[in-house]
């Protein structure tokens, strides 16, 4: 009888400990929204007009309880009109595949706070000329960063706000007509909405 009672007590203690330990869960979903870029350069007489862009992609998360690791894949489209000193205005579009690898803090449920690196694995730039888009260059893979916050409503709807920035400016950027920019910095704020399955 003592062995049975002792076995039941040990089983109950083990079950209680397992129930209290946070379970690892894998989440995934889709996300899309607008991106408001801010391109700047050190060249005072170069006029830059930023154009609203958009992004869409797949979000995943390995939820470890108080925090999660969130690798994502995003297609990002941005644009700007730029008029270098003494030159013609150029309408540029940038398409990139970004892979953010985020760490999110989830202590304030349903709010999550993000930070982490963003790997741009593909980026091509096009010049709009009439109705045509002329491909004029690809940018090598780069690393930037993002910080932000999101909130999950009704267990599935995600509202996400992020600030994306660069660690350093791009030097000696050559435009389609051969003009050169000394430094080009790019930052953006992205507001997205998603659905978590």
Contacts of 70 (CB under 8 A, 6+ apart): 59, 60, 61, 62, 100, 101, 102, 103, 104, 114, 116
Q: Which helix (H) or strand (E) holds 182?
A: strand 180-196
Q: How many CB atoms lie within 10 A of CB 191?
A: 14
- The residues facing 163 across adjacent strands are 147, 189
Q: What is the pLDDT of residues 83-129, one digit of tens each?
A: 877 777 888 888 899 999 999 999 888 999 999 999 998 888 777 66
CB 27 within 8 A of CB 181: no
What share of the chain has pLDDT > 90, as a percent? 50
Rounded to 5 degrees, φ, ψ at 89 are -70, 135
Residue owning tokens 């096009």: 126
Q: How many CB atoms lie within 10 A of CB 15?
A: 10
Q: Which is more confidently placed, 12 or 18?
A: 12
pLDDT at position 51: 92
Catalogue all structural domains in the chain, each as residue range(s) with its CATH number.
22-196 (2.40.160.20)
Q: What is the pLDDT of residues 38-95, one digit of tens each?
A: 988 877 778 899 999 999 999 999 999 899 999 999 999 998 888 877 777 888 888 8
Q: In the structure encoding, which two tokens stand for residue 83, read together?
A: 């008029």
Q: In the structure encoding, which two tokens stand for residue 182, read together?
A: 């000394």
pTM (2 d.p.) = 0.80
The C-alpha atoms of residue 125 and residue 105 are separated, in whole angstroms, by: 35
Average pLDDT, the chain: 84
């Amino acid at each position: 009888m003592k062995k049975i009672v002792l076995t039941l007590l040990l089983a109950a203690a083990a079950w209680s400990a397992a129930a209290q330990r946070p379970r690892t869960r894998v989440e995934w979903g889709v996300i899309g929204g607008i991106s408001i870029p801010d391109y700047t350069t050190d060249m005072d007489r170069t006029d830059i007009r930023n154009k609203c862009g958009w992004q869409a992609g797949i979000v995943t998360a390995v939820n470890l309880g108080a925090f999660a690791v969130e690798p994502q894949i995003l297609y990002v489209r941005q644009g700007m009109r730029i008029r270098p000193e003494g030159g013609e205005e150029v309408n540029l579009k940038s398409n990139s595949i970004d892979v953010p690898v985020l760490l999110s803090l989830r202590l304030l449920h349903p709010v999550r706070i993000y930070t982490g690196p963003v790997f741009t694995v593909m980026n091509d730039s096009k010049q709009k000329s009439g109705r045509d888009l002329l491909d004029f260059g690809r940018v090598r893979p780069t690393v930037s960063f993002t910080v932000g916050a999101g909130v999950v409503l009704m267990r599935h709807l995600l509202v996400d706000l992020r600030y994306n920035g660069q660690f350093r400016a791009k030097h000696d950027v050559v435009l389609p007509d051969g003009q050169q920019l000394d430094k080009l910095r790019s930052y953006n704020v992205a507001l997205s909405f998603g659905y978590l399955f």
